[in-house]
Chains A and B, each alone.
Chain A
């Protein structure tokens, strides 16, 4: 089942008193997110990621296009009944404790009070804040507020969760804990929309990713699809390859680049790789190790954005 589908969603902001200047935040964005997926939204600053989430939650009105969220049209209060949101910058009433904050937002989400008390306690435990449940949030650190933010987004046990930079300001151990929570939620069938600058985190968590730039969709796909390219093998030699061997490789149309004791070989298939190894060995070149060079999501992302900027 589809959790979220948008049809050529566009948003133009008209800031300023006279609204003369237009800022195109979303440009005909069409996306489909399946239920139970962890879906990553990537893009540089100002790409339209936050606007997209805010449109889905009816905080921002689209200029054109439409969307169906959890089977409901945009603007329906029922969407927010079944979803949770952790904004990028979030402020909680400083005079409330962590527990009171969860009680407040739980009540506003329509969770019955007797159930809410149990759930607030459980969530504080789950995000590692139970020790500070009674402390006023104005005394919380950034990482603690982030954990509390995640707990408030989960207070109504949402089917659809929107997270904007959920691990911002959280230490590495905390980040791992949050990742584990998200993976547990995925196992329970929660659809998660993850908006993060930490591409390594997206790579670890997301089933599919969309890359946005200047409000437009550049690419959508799984991490494997986004990072796929012609295989390049990295061959570690015992000593630098002699010049005549390199010349011979070039003459035999091997696409090889040498850098000190490293050889980067772009090959069509395994047969060609084996032929290359045979040739090196027959010329007395000792091989220390060999492996397929991988493209990280970060490299793919940068190359896509730079390509778009250059175009």
Chain B
């Protein structure tokens, strides 16, 4: 109950400080734009966005609809996660500010419960928003185009899981640096690193032809949550329409690896937090 109280307080804090509401407002605005703008014309088979044709039905209306949804999802997942970090990253260091941490630590919660409840609250608020946005897109396209893309909901779960894994990095950085600004910066830097590590064979490997260096990059790839790979695979869950440059099918491997590395990073955060003097 005490942990739940802290979790709910953290979500409340994110709402009252406006970060979560801003996130929800942006999501709502996008949903409204699509709800008002997109429509399909049964007579001529056109799908229009504020009257402008964006795809020809050509007897495959639902495939086109699926393609639009899948494209939209692929374009937006990165921003969903990045904005999520902006909204939630500051909540971990803010608990460690002088004068605040003493009061929280004087209450009868173990440090493990304190940290995990705080992290769950911070990430939980964003996960609620991800689910809200995904459910909204599902309903808008279902009602407006008649395309009930169930994969959107599956992808929302995968995306939420991705954010929780990503947040393990944010939590560890926040606990060590105790700085909101630094945490956001390093977390965003990690998104770039994650992308660089995923395509290391075609990029970072080429910078230095050294076996040890290559092994270090491989180790980092498997030790850190595979953000980029999880985002790509989340999008693959959306629809059956393959993209021209992506013929691969969904793989659960990045999620399994990331689960392990996130568990390790959360455990590391707890280990560090329990050993510090405040």
Binding site for B on A (CB under 8 A): 13, 54, 57-61, 77-78, 80-81, 83-85, 87, 89-93, 95-96, 104-105, 107-110, 152, 162
Contact = CB atoms under 8 A, between A and B. Distances in A.
Interface residues of B, number: 24
B108 A109 contact: yes
B248 interface: no
Contacts of B102: 54, 59, 85, 87, 89-90
Given A85-B102, A87-B102, A104-B9, A95 B107 contact: no
Contact of A91 (B5, B97, B105): B97
Nearest to B113: A77
Interface of B: 1-2, 5-6, 9, 13, 16-17, 97-100, 102-110, 275, 277-278
Nearest to A87: B102
17 contacts: A54-B102, A59-B277, A60-B277, A60-B278, A77-B110, A83-B106, A85-B103, A87-B106, A89-B99, A90-B102, A91-B99, A95-B17, A104-B5, A104-B9, A108-B2, A109-B2, A109-B107
Contacts of A81: 108
A104 B7 CA distance: 11
A109 B103 CA distance: 11
B9 to A, nearest CB: 6
A108 B97 contact: no
Contacts of B106: 57, 59, 80, 83-85, 87, 162
A235 to B, nearest CB: 52
A152 B1 contact: no
Name the 7 nearest CB pairs between A and B, nearest first: A91-B99, A107-B5, A85-B106, A81-B108, A95-B16, A87-B102, A108-B107
A57 to B, nearest CB: 5
B112 to A, nearest CB: 11
A239 B254 CA distance: 98
